Structures are given as structure tokens and as C-alpha cells.
Structure 1
Amino acid sequence: MPVDVDRVDALAAAVAGIYRQAETALLAAVTDRLAVGLDRTDWQARRLAQVGALHRAAAAIADTLADRGTTEVRAAVAAGYRAGQHDAVRELAGTLSPGTPLPARAGGAAEQRAANAVQALADATIGELRPVHAAILPQVDTAYRRAIAGAAARKTAGAATLREAAQGAWAELAGRGIVGFDDRAGRRWRLHTYVEMATRAAVNRAAVHGLVDQFTAAGVRLVSVDDKAGECWRCRPYEMRVLALWGATGRQHVAHHRGAGMVAVDVVATLDEAAAGGLFHPGCRHTIRAYLPGVSILLRAGRTADPAGEAARERQRAIERALRHWRELEAAALTPEGARRARDRIAAWDAEMADHVAAHGLRRKRYREQIGAGVIPPAGVVARTARRAGVPTPQDVEH
């Protein structure tokens, strides 16, 4: 079987969940301080006096997050690699000729190379997240000060009460996200969405790496890319085509898998070339399976994009963002009116999501619609998720 992309999603979501919890805890730390003394005339001065206390509370959350997040990213990447190995073994067990032994566990230099590759992948992902961690404290401090200044400005401009002015100013800031990150392309990300994207890409690469290592150990040189509905233009040239893990590409004659002479195979690229061309991009749901010459059949007729399917999934992501947005505004409400308005919008978006997934045959992922509970979970979140998803532990990896 190819890499289980739902399992990859689960591992990435486990890491992202830690960051969602931290975002909610930071949001609560600011909200709780802004909500105190809204009926006092010296509210602004008293809130500014709490900057130091907020900074210490936010620093404790950020420090815990950096430590916990780093640990769980490493666990997710390692679990992805083991999952890929496991998937390859299961596929080979079902496709190799009867009596053909499965490859033994790689040892010595090969095992060390695999460990080094997984370590490097985890290190690269953690390196991507360091600027994210560094941005947390300055952004929380800035959001808090801006909320106070914004409330004062709105009151001066004619807001009925300081409470309404503070609610409006803070809701505007909270709605944009108090912690964000600009990537190298200049795109703005929320903290947890960036982490989920980066972690999912790393876990998927690790899973493919584990799959390829096991195929290589079994002498499987050719693989095919699976068919996914709504493929994007980057993946389209490779979908349901044959790739080489090593060696020649192009039209070639290779031995039939079951020894029945030679068969012609069109190998469009190596796996590395396909990856460089866009396959396995962040968010990609394609994977590979062993291609057995003369046995495997590429069933798909015609390779076309599915813009309607891609648009439906993009709309689902947009509704998920809207639900998270209004749930955050409910959590950040300083007035009963603000909380009630947020709940009304949550109900409306929830109904729209139900209609959308039913109309387009999509699977609803409710965890993507939620914000965190505000407490960073203890260590081992990824390990528990991996066990539930059927990923073998380091002690019982099957070979």
C-alpha cells in the first residue's frame, strides 16, 4: 500500500494542536488582563502597568511551547519514517511472489544513513520554526499595547462606553491573530497553520523516505504515483506514471516481474526529479506504490486537473478558517454582546460547512475548525496519536 496520507495528517495535526493550545493560552492571557476594570476611569494606566506581568506569563507559555514543539516535531518525523517502512512491508507482503522473503531490517551503515536522514529532516523543520517561536513575545506585547491604545482612541472618537471601545479594538486585533508569521514569499500565516503545513510536509517526506528505503532493500526500482481527485498542476505530469528510484529513465525494456520475458515501460523521471518538479509539495496528497513490470496496471485514462474539486476543497479550508476566527473572537470577547455575536456567526458558518461537505462529498475535519483549550498538552501527544493511527514503535517495526 502507498503512504497513508490520513495518518500523515493525524501526526501533523497532533503537532499543530500544541500550537493551537498555546495560541489560545496567549489569547486568554491578554483577554483576562484587558477585561479587568473596564468601568474605571484609570483603566488605560492600570492596564499598561500590567505589561510586565503579561510578558512573564507569555514568556512561560512561549518557552514551554518551544521545548514541547521541538520534541513533538522530532517524534512526528520519526513516526512518519516508521509508518513509511511499515506501509512498504505490507505492500511487498501482498505483491511479491509466494516464497519470496521480505528484506531484513537494514543494519550498520544503511541504518545509520536512514537515521541521519530523518534527523536532518527534523532539524530542518525545527529550523523553520525558530523564527516563529522568536516572534511570539514581541507580537503579544505589541497586540496588548495596541488594544489599550485602540480602546482609548475609540472612546475619544465617540464610542458609547470604554467597554464597547475596548471590545471593538481587541476584537479587531484578535481577529487578525495576535501571533503570526511571514514566510520567505511574504505570505502571512497564523502560528498553528504554518506549523501544520511545515510539519505535514516533513512527515510526508519522512514517510516517503521510509517507503523508498524499504523498496530499495527489496530491490524494487520502479514505482508509480497514485491517483488523487483534484490534483494540482504540479502533480499532474506524474500522476499514474512510472518513476525510477534509481537508474535509467525513458522508454525501456525490463524483466517481467514474474519472469515471463521482457516488457516495455515508460519511466517519465526519477523520484528525485519528480520531487524537484513539484511532486510532494506542501499540502500534496500524492504518494507512491511499487510498480511491478507486467503485473501492475495503471488504470487511469487521461490526466487532467480537477479545478472544481480543488475549488471545493479551498472553500472548505476557508470555512474552517472562518469558524476558527469566530471561535477565537468568542474566546476574546470582553462583553456579553461580543460573545453573543460570535456565537451567532459560529452557528451560521457551521451550517454552511455542513451544506458544503454534503454538496461536494467532502470529509469534514472538525479538528481544523477548533481553537485550542488554552493549556499546552503534556509531552507524548504525537506518540499517542501514532499508536492510535497504527504506526509501529521503534521497538516493534516490522521488517
Structure 2
Amino acid sequence: MATQPSQPADDSAELALIVELLAAGVVQEFATAEQDLIAEVASLARQGLAAPVGSAARLDMLRRMQIAAHRVAAELRSRATPLARRVTDEAARYGMAAAQRRLAMLAASHPSLLRTLTAPQPEPVSAHGLASTVAIRLDLQRNLEDAAVRIARFGDDAYRAAIARAAEAEVLHGVTPAAAQRGAWDELMSQGITGFTDSRGRRWNLASYVEMATRSAVQRSFNASHRARMTAAGIEYFTVAPHAHPCPICLPWEGAVLSDRFGSGLTSALSTVSDERVQFEVAATVDQAIAAGLFHPNCTHTLVAYLPGATRMQQRSEWTQADREAYRAAQRLRELERRVRAAKQREVAALDDVSRARARRDVRAGQAAIRAHVAAHRLVRRPRREQRDLGNG
């Protein structure tokens, strides 16, 4: 009996869950270390600044801040390799398992259309898939080590905020010593440990950078093993299933057919392929789509097997004004969450009651703005993202 064409089903919901679960552990390690270090240097600053100028306690403040920062950095650097290995290996296993399940479903519904389908049991990772996983692991390991190295400089940053920058503001802008000190310190504490720049030139603080890098590595490892297993089973073409909330980078690839055949001669933006069952258009190779932005950090799209003549494709969507507004509203929510986290950080690290009270008011104002924004745009509020450690503590 002939099989009926079916719409592509994907594993994006599972990938989103895997990304959340695996990234949470890594973010917790770094975010907790950052919060503990901030609390420690704040305590050292209060002690040092309460001592007379020129006293041993004040002169020793920089050394003690540096020791604290270097200790935390060394601890995290030692954890970078096992953390990177664990999350990328687990993501690869999840991707392989998801592909196995999807292949079993395809074999049951379209048994005559797949040339080589193995039984749905665990398969060894192919050489290409293994190389991809190792490369992704090493990339994440370097990112985590870089983050740890940057932490080592936080002791110097904290001392300058408490002493040098405050003195500079007093001289250059004529503010009182107390106000200059409070402004410099609050600015540093609200930002946390910063100095991280991604390949697109965007600046991040520590927790957000580690979260972005880890989520990206988990997603890439899942998709690499998922794709390798599909390819080993004879899948030559893929598509990207529609997503509930696509971004402008990924939307053009939803519903497009992508080729996995390396060196197939697909050099133009659009090529027509004649299969024994049907003629269809291939938009690009998978690697070309990735180079153009598909599977960017925090993306949860996955590749879906495209079977010529058996996969019924949905009509491709255009980026509408409604999509643009929804995307901007989601980005605005992320900004408001960052403001609340920054205010909570200032509250914990405040040097005096005045700064602490001001930060507490900013927390309440930020939370009120989030409630109003969520209600106005029918978004889902995730209170954990308003926590100082992104809710991973």
C-alpha cells in the first residue's frame, strides 16, 4: 500500500529541554562562584574603607581582593575540561538517540523510501560526528577557561572602583568623596564580572557569557550527532521545521530543503534536483545554511529528514510586522531581566545603607516593569531569569 506524504516532525522541543538541563549545571558553577566572589570583595571593601587612610587594613585590601579572585579563577579553570566534556558528550548522546527514534518512525511510515536504515539501537558515533563533538568540546573548554582567566582580574577592578575611580571622579567632576565612591562601586557591582566579547562583537557579563557559550555548545553537539546518524542511515536532504517563535536569522530556512552532500556542486543560491520520485529545489547545503546563521547561539531548531515525494512541506513564511513586534518584545523582556539582576547585585554588594535602599527600590521598579511588559505582550514571565545566578543556584 502506498504511503501518504507527511509533514516533517522535528526534535526542537527535546533540544530546548536538553539545552536548559545541561547548560544549567555549568552556569551554576560560574554564577555561584561570581556571586560568592562579589560578596567577598564587598566585605573586604567595607572593612578596608572603614579603616583610616594609610592604615594596614586599607593598604592590605588590594592584596586580599586579588587573592580571592585568583583562588576562584583557579578553581573554575580546573573545572573547565570536565564540564565541557560532560555537557557535549551528553548532548551528543541525546542527539544520537533522538535521531534513532526519528529514523524508526520514518522506517515504519515509509519503509520503501529509505535505502539503508539500521535497527533503532545505539550506534557508534561516525568519524565525522566524533570529530565534530571533539571540536565543539574544545571550543567550549577554551571559552570556559577564558572566563576563568578574566575572573582573576576582578580583584583589581574592585579595588580601583573602591579607591582609584572614586578619587578620579572626585577630582574631575567635583563630586563628594562618598558620592564618587558609591557611583564607581555601584557601576562595577551592577555589571558583575565583564569583559567578554563574542564573534559578533557583543559584550557580555560572566553569567550570560557562560550561559550563551554552553547553550551554543550543547545545541551544536546535539545537532552534529543527530545529523551524523541521519546521514549514516542514508538521509541526503533535510529541512527545518517551523518554530513557534522564529528569529529573523532562522526564519528563511524554515521549510527550505538543504543538501547534506558535501562537494555536490550546489554553488548557486537555489538548485533544482531531480529525484526518481519528484523534482524539488535545494536552497543550500546544510553547512552553507549554518554559515549564514542557522543554529546561532540559543537557537533550538533541528534538522528534519526530507524524503522526496514523502515529506509534505508547509508553505514558507515571510517575516511579518507581527513577527518583528513579537521578537522585539521578547528582546525587551531579556533587557528588563538583566536590569533586575543588576539591581539585585548592587543590593547585595552595597557599601552602605543608602546604596542598598536605592538598589532595593530599583529591584521593585524593574519587577513592576516586567509585570507590565509581560501583560501587554502576552509573554511568559520566567522569574528564575531575574535571579542573580539566572536561577541556577
Bin for the TM-score computed over the shorter chain: 0.7 to 0.9
Equivalent position of 1:116 in the other structure: 131
Q: 8 Å contact 1:180–1:188 — kept in the other structure?
A: yes
Q: 8 Å contact 2:48–2:61 — kept in the other structure?
A: no
Tell me, in whole angstroms, the C-alpha distance in 2 between the residues paired with 1:96 and 1:152.
Answer: 72
Q: 1:1-399 to 2 correspondence within 5 Å?
A: 1-3=10-12, 4-36=15-47, 38-42=49-53, 46-97=57-108, 102-107=119-124, 111-152=126-167, 157=174, 159=176, 162=178, 166-183=181-198, 186-246=201-261, 250-255=271-276, 262-304=277-319, 306-372=323-389
Q: 8 Å contact 1:181–1:188 — kept in the other structure?
A: yes
Residues 67, 40 of structure 1: alpha-carbon distance in 2 compared, 3 angstrom cutoff: closer
**How far does residue 190 in structure 1 lie from its aligned partner after superposition?**
0.6
Residues 237, 106 of structure 1: alpha-carbon distance in 2 compared, 3 angstrom cutoff: same
Residues 269, 16 of structure 1: alpha-carbon distance in 2 compared, 3 angstrom cutoff: same
Q: 8 Å contact 1:143–1:178 — kept in the other structure?
A: no
Structure 2 unaligned regions, length at least 5: 1-9, 112-116
**How far does residue 24 in structure 1 lie from its aligned partner after superposition?**
0.8
Q: Which runs of 4+ in 1 moved over 6 A?
A: none
Paired letter, 2:368: A
Tell me, in whole angstroms, the C-alpha distance in 1 between the residues paired with 2:248 and 2:383.
Answer: 28
Paired letter, 2:230: F
Residue 180 of structure 1: SS of its match in structure 2? strand
**How far does residue 208 in structure 1 lie from its aligned partner after superposition?**
0.7
Paired letter, 2:18: R
Paired letter, 1:358: A
Q: 8 Å contact 1:33–1:47 — kept in the other structure?
A: no
Equivalent position of 1:387 in the other structure: none
Residues 59, 353 of structure 1: alpha-carbon distance in 2 compared, 3 angstrom cutoff: same
Residue 274 of structure 1: SS of its match in structure 2? helix
Q: 8 Å contact 1:103–1:214 — kept in the other structure?
A: no
Residue 345 of structure 1: SS of its match in structure 2? helix
**Alpha-carbon displacement from aligned partner over 1:137-162 (angstroms, at most 9, x marks no partner):** 22321322331234456778563x85
Residues 252, 188 of structure 1: alpha-carbon distance in 2 compared, 3 angstrom cutoff: closer
TM norm structure 1: 0.81
**Alpha-carbon displacement from aligned partner over 1:259-312 (angstroms, at most 9, x marks no partner):** xxx122222111111112221122333222122333322224533252112101
**Higher RCO, 1 vs 2 (CA within 8 Å, ≥6 residues apart):** 1
**Alpha-carbon displacement from aligned partner over 1:119-146 (angstroms, at most 9, x marks no partner):** 2211122223433322222232132233
Residues 302, 179 of structure 1: alpha-carbon distance in 2 compared, 3 angstrom cutoff: closer
Residues 270, 154 of structure 1: alpha-carbon distance in 2 compared, 3 angstrom cutoff: closer
Tell me, in whole angstroms, the C-alpha distance in 2 between the residues paired with 1:117 and 1:205.
Answer: 9
Tell me, in whole angstroms, the C-alpha distance in 2 between the residues paired with 1:332 and 1:135.
Answer: 20
Q: 8 Å contact 1:230–1:307 — kept in the other structure?
A: no
Equivalent position of 1:397 in the other structure: none
Residue 153 of structure 2: SS of its match in structure 1? helix
Structure 1 unaligned regions, length at least 5: 256-261, 378-399
Residue 220 of structure 1: SS of its match in structure 2? coil
Paired letter, 2:71: A
Residues 105, 238 of structure 1: alpha-carbon distance in 2 compared, 3 angstrom cutoff: same
Tell me, in whole angstroms, the C-alpha distance in 2 between the residues paired with 1:34 and 1:87.
Answer: 51
Moved more, 237-246 or 353-362: 353-362
Q: 8 Å contact 2:118–2:233 — kept in the other structure?
A: no
Residues 153, 251 of structure 1: alpha-carbon distance in 2 compared, 3 angstrom cutoff: closer
How many pairs align?
366
Paired letter, 1:102: A
Equivalent position of 2:5 in the other structure: none
Tell me, in whole angstroms, the C-alpha distance in 2 between the residues paired with 1:351 and 1:214.
Answer: 48
Moved more, 77-86 or 65-74: 65-74
